[in-house]
């Protein structure tokens, strides 16, 4: 299965919760691909492994937290530069997070559910990415492909062991890459 974004705009959270009481609500009142991703997260029974460059979509973060509360093992590998905004929410909820604090970027975008379903593609977990960007998510249970991603996740999980410290860094849009290397190289000494 493949999900393409954008698929219409922002979904109304009131409608998603059961009833939108705003007469002139201009948000979507139907299921979206972001909702389909949320449903896949809600269907997890044993484990969710997330390897994501940008992780800021509240709907998907809340679904991860709820899965964790239900006893599903949730592990997240992310890039330090793109997690700081969501870090407080997921670490306060007790999710197991490992962070790439290296000079290179952890640019993967994939998730493995119950070691049986792989989701991968260009989509970073952002609300604006779902509503505006041209993105895709490929979903498969093909064992050979799944095994490659499981192996990569486990390799990163071991590589970043002990690296759950999230550094909060001011970032300007023009200097993200330059600041990242300067900041991290200064911390090495």
Active site residues: 107, 109, 114
The three-state (H, E, C) secondary structure of the chain, written as one string: CEEEECCCCCECHHHHHCCCCCCCCCCECCCCHHHHHHHHHHCCCCEEEEEECCECCHHHHHHHHHHHHCCCEEEEEEEHHHHHHHHHHHHHCCCEEEEECCCCCCCCEEEEECCCEEEEECCCECHHHHHCCCEEEEEECCHHHHHHHHHHHHHHHHHCCCCCCCCCCCCCHHHHHHHHHHHHHHHCC
């Amino acid at each position: 299965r493949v999900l393409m974004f954008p698929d219409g705009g922002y979904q109304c959270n009131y409608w998603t919760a059961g009833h939108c009481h705003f007469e002139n609500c201009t948000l979507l009142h139907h299921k979206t691909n972001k909702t389909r991703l949320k449903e896949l997260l809600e269907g997890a029974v044993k484990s969710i492994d997330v390897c994501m460059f940008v992780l800021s979509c509240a709907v998907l973060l809340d679904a991860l937290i709820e899965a964790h509360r239900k006893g599903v093992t949730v592990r997240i590998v992310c890039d330090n530069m793109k997690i700081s905004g969501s870090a407080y929410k997921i670490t306060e909820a007790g999710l197991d997070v490992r962070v790439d604090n290296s000079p290179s970027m952890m640019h993967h975008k994939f998730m493995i559910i119950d070691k049986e379903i792989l989701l991968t593609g260009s989509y970073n977990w952002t609300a604006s990415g779902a509503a505006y960007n041209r993105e895709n998510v490929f979903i498969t249970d093909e064992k050979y492909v799944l095994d490659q991603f499981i192996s990569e996740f486990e390799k990163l999980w071991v590589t970043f062991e002990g690296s759950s410290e999230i550094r909060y860094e001011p970032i300007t849009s023009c200097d993200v890459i330059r600041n990242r290397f300067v900041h991290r190289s200064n911390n090495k000494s």
